[in-house]
Amino acid sequence: MTLLQIVADTSALAKGAATVPQSLSLLDLLVKGGWIMIPLGILSVISVYLMIERYIVISRASKVDPSFMANIKNMLMSGKRDAALSLCHSTNTPIARLLEKGIKRLGKPIKEIESAVENTGKLEIYKLEKNLSYLGIIAGIAPMFGFVGTIAGVIRIFYDISLHNDISIGLISAGLYQKMITSATGLVIGIIAHIGFHYLNTMIDRVSFQLESTTVDFIDLIQEPTEDK
């Protein structure tokens, strides 16, 4: 009798194990998030694109040849203004464009040269910040979309309960899936966009410091002949 009971228990366990569902894949979980996952997916694609595109642009802008400023200085001190302009024109960096603007203004009052150089620097920073505000917006609204999904999941739970007059876990699981998945997805997208936004702004601050330092060096450079006289 005991042997039969063991065999029966073993069979029951085997049947129970056979009915255990397999673990869900990431795609299956995302699908269970419902329609709100579509705008969240669009926001994630936009944020990744903006972060990569801005990172490449800002990284290129921050790369400066250590000998560039020294070459410009030597050319200007030697009276080779056209050569200095040619070097600036062939160098595709914010600092080169800033110096090119200043060199073109040589011979005019210092205040006018300084103003032109500073305005060029502001324009270059504005170019680097292009579309970066959208990343900040995504960082703010992605969790809100996740919250909308949470509300939709709760509504679905109560609707299913009222429809079937039952509160079993199997009945409310679909709403719970939608509630938790959309909240988690919105938060993850928001966190990544927030980190990317502030990291890229930190990179822009470094470029801004380089431009300000170059402006000071350039103004000092064009004043040297006057001071020597």
What integer pLDDT is reported at residue 31 of this predicted model? 58
| Selection from 81, 138, 127, 83 nearest residue 105 by Cα | 81
Estimate the crossing angle of helix 68-77 against helix 169-228, to 10 degrees: 20
What integer pLDDT is reported at residue 70 of this predicted model? 85
What integer pLDDT is reported at residue 71 of this predicted model? 86
Series of mean pLDDT values for 10-residue runs along the chain (229 residues): 41 43 55 73 93 93 83 86 88 88 86 88 91 92 84 70 66 63 87 95 92 87 58
Runs of H (alpha helix) within the chain:
2-19, 26-31, 37-62, 68-77, 81-90, 94-104, 110-128, 132-164, 169-228
Find out whether 205 and 197 touch, Cβ atoms under 8 Å.
Answer: no
What integer pLDDT is reported at residue 22 of this predicted model? 54
